[in-house]
Structure 1
Amino acid sequence: MLRSQRRLTPSYQQIVNEMRQEGITAADMQRVFRQWSRGAENVHLLKKDTQRKYLQPSYAQKLLEYLKNKQTENPSFFYAVQLNDDGRIANFFWTDCQAIVDYACFGDVVSFDTTFETNKFEMPFAPFVGTNHHKQPILFGASLIYDESSESFNWLFQTFLTAMSGKQPATIFTDPSAEIIKSVRLVFPNSSHRLCLRHICHNAVKHLNHVICNHPEFLSDFKRRIYEERSVTFFDLKWKELVNAYNLDGNDWMNNLYAMREKWAAVYSRDSFYADMMTIQNAEGTSDALKNFRRKLCLPEFLEEYEKCITSFRQNELEADYNSRQTSPVPYVPDLPMLKTAAESYTRNLYSHFEEEFKKLFTLSCSLLSQDRTISTYKLTPLNSEEEAYVVFNSEDTTVSCSCRMYECTGMLCKHALRVLNYSNIFTFPSHYVYKRWTKYAKAGLFGCRNNSQSGNGSSMLRCARISQKMHSVALRYSMSEKALQFLESGVDKLTCEVENLLSHINLNGNGNDTGQSSGFCNGAMAESLGHSESMYSEGA
């Protein structure tokens, strides 16, 4: 049926709502409507009509008031809503200044999760999540979506990019939805798209429950296969062994999963940076941090939980920042320059990971395969194992490249590269391998930088977010001292007067915008392609 011929009449909508309240699934609704209409071609609604979930008008108004109040408190707060054909609010997205700054620092990897359902209408809460320099989860933005269609995801991803000044992540993780895959390909063409392994493991439990019941060890074997990193050939071999061992050769779910292996198998992720978010520990940690959103919450409860969650995330980061800057780990070899530099540079959590990797270098045998002037190639083999790795080392510039690609994927040197450096009598940490993203001062210099490729409202919003976040951090830092706060407030008042004088001087000279960019944020409506839907953006007053 053509889109123009489809009309969701009030009577159909009432039936859909009643069926949904009785717990009838969208697929079962479609079967009922096909029987009533004597054929699929006579059904005047699509499957996604039965899946659409709206907030009640009173709840929608409360959410809008919440977003407007947040923007009043902080002008750099960003939110957007999308209206459907009937003028109802369908989709919401929002983010704040600290999230925008966090994305500027740590937006290289994003996880987008639609598996949280937050109210009695089961309207999905879909957060954009990342990981900071302590490997803690951080929220880049949040959304409530009325259906999981490509039109909704297109709008949502485009809106997210608008809020983040057009910066695309290096890698984005999502659940394995065909509609999401399609939208990611359209909106994030420069990003590596990976499917979340946690979701795949959960889906395995659902689709292969009969296997797990008869073979409790299957899930452990399955996880080992999907995290196999040695080589594509080895992965294929082990996958076939798994399929044959559990008689899954004709299983449609396993066959479809294998057909998409390049989007999820760890061995295919070596060319993209994923900040260690692919590990099951990291994925489960993020899921645990957001576990309360898996409960059925009414809107006030949801907003309260959201505030608690984002406050907790940021408090955890402040505490980890303080711990990393005010205390120092004791390297297990105290006088070794490489460990000393790592301890001085990395956050406490990252240093712990690095030291564990460093200890493993002593379990590797190292043999020289070839040498051409300054270029040497080595073969690394663990004791009592056949997991070989190959490292190319350039003694001229102290660069090292390993076949395991751990540094390219996580930003931390692997045990193989560290073994070759040690073998080559390089005991200091090459500065070009101290990845700033994982250091104590990952956000240093952000407020002074300016990206010339950004223009218009996106650039203004990011600059405003930087300043807001900087002032917020200063206020938090000195909040325990009344004297310090009074001094800070006096300084802000003085600075405000000076800025007002500066703006007056600029306006008197007829140059109201000395950067050539819009000095404010826009409010308005913009047509988007969800039928005749509208997108309303509000980026501050």
Structure 2
Amino acid sequence: MKDINPDFFYTVELDDECKFKSAVWVDARCRASYEYYGDVVSVDSTYRRNRHGLPFVSFVGVNHHGRSTLLGCALLGNEEIASYEWVFSQWVKCMGTAPQCIITDQCRFKYHAIKNTLPDTRHRWYIWHIMNKLPSKLGGYRRYGALYVDLNNIVWNSRTEESFEDNWADFIDEYNLHNNTWVSDLYDDRRMWIPIYFKGEFWSAMRSTQRSESMHAFYGGYLHSKTSLVQFVHEYDNVLGFKEQRELEDDAADSKGKANCRVSTVDKQGSLVCVTMEEEKLVNDTILCVSYDVHFDHSTQELRCECNLFESSEFVGDDEETTLPHVALEETMAKLAAHHAKKRSESVSKTQTNIGS
């Protein structure tokens, strides 16, 4: 691979008997993608379909279409702190800089390894991984149905830290969960996963997205339990090629389309403008219409969205793009998407010259 593609990075860790321990590899396409989509990175190690039983680690970002994009991979000899520390340090060595934010499951080994090797990176946990455990952890309670609804409402709809903490206390009292250790630990770790504690932070729309699970489904089309290490690397390259092709198709589709949101109402008072937006979102094969307010101050050029999407998903641009006429927000969002698509397409075009097929 290195002979075909000079920008291909790999490193292997051996034990005292020169036997395989761990490996990290990053394709040139992944390195190019990291330049644009490396602010927030998801790290997952739950995909285990290698015949040698080695945990497979994926570094995943989110591209300008909201799709998962690979940023590197690793095979671990074991899931211990030292193994993760080695993988993280080698991956950052390849990329040149650490990500601003990283998101993982609740693995304590990852937690300590990130703390030790990436001290300046903001770390949080996937909410979905936690909420998915509710049936096994709390399903035995007599009022589980109501409990499930109330807990979801508290987690997703708390508007302030104070309201979350008050609602959580009421929730514990209502369902008599004072002695439930799992629930108590979740509260102690609330700053690692509750959305309100990340308000205003950029998380590239990873707050509720099941990135690892979608990648698992994708890998399943290429990798299986009998895949050898040599086949594994070859099929990994096929994965990247397919993902790149799909991204180019998305770019082409975006160039012909328009934003899936529209202006509902506009209220202007002096330099302050409040625009009520209606956005169509696909949820479980059903299209839902979601309304939210966007506030824009012409005097300060400050843009603030009620749903925090501008802050958490980077719907912002340069001065020219953020000077928003109050009737052109939809058009501006479409221009931003096209702008990011153009940047990414130029990067891919340059990278392809360094990639062997």
The answer on 1:469 being equivalent to 2:341 is: no
Q: Map Cα deviations across residues 381-406 of structure 1 (whole Å, 9 max, x no partner).
A: x9xxxxxx997643235332346533
The answer on 1:135 being equivalent to 2:66 is: yes
Measure how far apart 1:241 and its partner are.
3.7
CA contact under 8 A between 2:125 and 2:192: conserved in structure 1? yes
Partner residue, 1:427: 327
Separation (CA, whole Å) in 1 of partners of 2:215 and 2:50:
21
Alpha carbons of 1:208 and 1:256: their partners in 2 closer, same or farther (altered >3 Å)? same
Alpha carbons of 1:435 and 1:176: their partners in 2 closer, same or farther (altered >3 Å)? farther
Amino acid across the alignment from 1:243: I
Partner residue, 1:28: none
Indicate the SS of the match to 1:72: coil
Indicate the SS of the match to 2:130: helix
Alpha carbons of 1:261 and 1:435: their partners in 2 closer, same or farther (altered >3 Å)? farther
What pairs up with 1:504-523 in 2 under 5 angstroms? none
Aligned counterpart in structure 2 of residue 180 of structure 1, from 92, 98, 110: 110
Indicate the SS of the match to 2:327: coil
Separation (CA, whole Å) in 1 of partners of 2:40 and 2:79:
22
Measure how far apart 1:264 and its partner are.
0.8
Separation (CA, whole Å) in 2 of partners of 1:124 and 1:73:
27
Measure how far apart 1:282 and its partner are.
5.4
CA contact under 8 A between 1:94 and 1:141: conserved in structure 2? yes
Partner residue, 1:150: 81
Aligned counterpart in structure 2 of residue 441 of structure 1, from 342, 346, 350: 342
CA contact under 8 A between 1:412 and 1:433: conserved in structure 2? no
Amino acid across the alignment from 1:140: L
What pairs up with 1:112-511 in 2 under 5 angstroms? 112-165=43-96, 167-211=97-141, 215-216=144-145, 218-280=147-209, 284-291=213-220, 296-299=225-228, 302-303=232-233, 305-325=235-255, 327=256, 329=257, 343=258, 351-352=259-260, 355=261, 358-359=262-263, 361-362=264-265, 376=272, 393-402=296-305, 404-412=307-315, 426-429=326-329, 435=336, 439-443=340-344, 467-470=350-353
Amino acid across the alignment from 1:469: Q
Indicate the SS of the match to 2:341: coil
Aligned pair count reads 337
Measure how far apart 1:316 and its partner are.
1.3
Amino acid across the alignment from 1:439: H
Partner residue, 1:450: none
CA contact under 8 A between 1:116 and 1:294: conserved in structure 2? no
Measure how far apart 1:319 and its partner are.
1.5
**5+ long unaligned stretches in structure 2:** 279-291, 317-322
Measure how far apart 1:467 and its partner are.
4.4
CA contact under 8 A between 2:13 and 2:21: conserved in structure 1? yes
Separation (CA, whole Å) in 2 of partners of 1:405 and 1:323:
26
Q: Map Cα deviations across residues 158-215 of structure 1 (whole Å, 9 max, x no partner).
A: 11111112x222221111122211221232233221111122123334433424x862
Amino acid across the alignment from 2:315: M
Separation (CA, whole Å) in 2 of partners of 1:246 and 1:280:
29
Indicate the SS of the match to 1:268: helix
Separation (CA, whole Å) in 1 of partners of 2:335 and 2:123:
26
Alpha carbons of 1:260 and 1:236: their partners in 2 closer, same or farther (altered >3 Å)? same
Separation (CA, whole Å) in 1 of partners of 2:237 and 2:88:
23
CA contact under 8 A between 1:109 and 1:169: conserved in structure 2? yes
CA contact under 8 A between 1:276 and 1:282: conserved in structure 2? no
CA contact under 8 A between 2:64 and 2:341: conserved in structure 1? yes
Measure how far apart 1:225 and its partner are.
3.1
Separation (CA, whole Å) in 2 of partners of 1:130 and 1:315:
17
Separation (CA, whole Å) in 2 of partners of 1:289 and 1:266:
27
Indicate the SS of the match to 1:189: coil
Q: Map Cα deviations across residues 199-247 of structure 1 (whole Å, 9 max, x no partner).
A: 2123334433424x86245445444433335211222233334333433
Relative to total residues, which structure has the larger helix share, 1 or 2?
Answer: 1
Separation (CA, whole Å) in 1 of partners of 2:150 and 2:236:
37
Partner residue, 1:85: 16
Partner residue, 1:528: none
Indicate the SS of the match to 1:112: strand
TM-score using structure 2 length: 0.79
Q: Map Cα deviations across residues 339-394 of structure 1 (whole Å, 9 max, x no partner).
A: xxxx3xxxxxxx22xx1xx45x54x9x696xx8xx6x59799x9xxxxxx997643
Q: Judge which range, 145-154 or 400-409, deviates more.
A: 400-409
**5+ long unaligned stretches in structure 1:** 1-69, 330-342, 344-350, 383-388, 414-420, 448-465, 477-541
CA contact under 8 A between 1:93 and 1:142: conserved in structure 2? yes
Structure with larger Rg: 1
Amino acid across the alignment from 2:342: Y
Alpha carbons of 1:441 and 1:248: their partners in 2 closer, same or farther (altered >3 Å)? same
Separation (CA, whole Å) in 2 of partners of 1:283 and 1:88:
29
The answer on 1:71 being equivalent to 2:2 is: yes
Relative to total residues, which structure has the larger strand share, 1 or 2?
Answer: 2
Alpha carbons of 1:295 and 1:242: their partners in 2 closer, same or farther (altered >3 Å)? farther
Alpha carbons of 1:443 and 1:303: their partners in 2 closer, same or farther (altered >3 Å)? closer
Amino acid across the alignment from 2:130: I
Separation (CA, whole Å) in 2 of partners of 1:437 and 1:150:
42
Q: Map Cα deviations across residues 235-286 of structure 1 (whole Å, 9 max, x no partner).
A: 2233334333433221111111111111111111124211111124656544
Separation (CA, whole Å) in 2 of partners of 1:242 and 1:397:
41
Aligned counterpart in structure 1 of residue 35 of structure 2, from 96, 104, 123: 104
